[in-house]
Amino acid sequence: MPVVRYGTWGFPLLLFPTAAADFEEYERFYLIETMRPWIEAGKVSVYSIDSVNQYTWMDDRIHPADRARKHEYYDSYVVNEVVPFIWGQQGNAERIITSGSSMGAYHAINFMLRHPDVFGGTVAMSGAYDLSPWTNGYMDEHVYFNSPLHYVPANNDPWFVEQWRRNGKDIHILTGQGPYEAPSQSKRMSQILWDKGVWHNLELWGHDMPHDWPTWRKMMPAFLAYHTN
């Protein structure tokens, strides 16, 4: 599966596409262009990969159990292939910050929470973090442990909690409140993290901020300005 890199220096940022999109989506919709000042200044190295949502959570032709099983292959691919590739490009094994919009935000949060020793933060823009709507309410072990609003509240493992707390300063949950946004999902995710003692940043942008690219093209530069200042 393809990986594209933008920039040669700076902290690693891994982008997950929206819905069923591909590794070049963020370039086509000009998000990369909004990041260019930080890329060219050597502040951030951006990596973007394909999604497989059309074969997993969005594939209503197969049983939800099979969707979850296929997602586990994607999880293995990201952790065992993409991460070592990024570390090789970076020249070190520093923690990677994840990011994405819409369904990409779900992946960004989920990968960071499941693998907090590998992914050291996230910029989740306009996400939904409950898999139930994608599985028609079906729940098994694989669905449960990929649905952050389900598995995080019950996970009191000291190792995970400590890692989440360590990453907290780089956890950013952003959402608009305009058309087609679901700010309640971000609020719920934020409250669950607070309940775990995880300090983080929740931003509720205005009611004029819809679930669309113009919103995300404003959110990402705001994060980069904050993170690299």
Q: Is the pTM of this model over 0.85?
A: yes
- Look at residue 200 in the predicted model and tell me its pLDDT: 97
Per-residue pLDDT of 106-164, as tens digits, reads 999 999 999 999 999 999 999 999 999 999 999 999 999 999 999 999 999 999 999 99
The answer to whether 17 and 51 are in contact (CB under 8 A) is: yes
- Look at residue 25 in the predicted model and tell me its pLDDT: 97
pLDDT of 44 above 90: yes
- Look at residue 105 in the predicted model and tell me its pLDDT: 98
- CB within 8 Å of 83: residues ≥ 6 apart: 96, 118
User: Angle at which helices 31-40 and 213-227 pack, to 10 degrees?
Assistant: 20
Per-residue pLDDT of 60-97, as tens digits, reads 999 999 999 999 999 999 999 999 999 999 999 999 99
Nearest to 112 by CA among 102, 124, 120, 103: 120
- Look at residue 197 in the predicted model and tell me its pLDDT: 98
**What is the average per-residue pLDDT within 51-57?**
94
pLDDT of 20 above 90: no
61 CB burial (10 A radius; 0-12, 13-18, 19+): exposed
Mean residue pLDDT across the chain: 97
- Look at residue 130 in the predicted model and tell me its pLDDT: 97
CATH code at position 30: 3.40.50.1820
- Look at residue 11 in the predicted model and tell me its pLDDT: 97
Question: Rounded to whole angstroms, how far apart are CA atoms 190 and 82?
Answer: 27
Which residues span the domain enclosing 124? 3-227
SS (H, E, C) the chain: CCEEEECCCCEEEEEECCCCCCCCHHHHCCHHHHHHHHHHCCCEEEEEECCCHHHCCCCCCCCHHHHHHHHHHHHHHHHHHHHHHHHHHHCCCCCEEEEEECHHHHHHHHHHHHCCCCEEEEEEECCCCCCHHHHCCCCCHHHHCCCHHHHHHHCCCHHHHHHHHHHHHHEEEEECCCCCCCHHHHHHHHHHHHHCCCCCEEEECCCCCCCCHHHHHHHHHHHHHHHCC
Domain count, the chain: 1
The answer to whether 220 and 30 are in contact (CB under 8 A) is: no
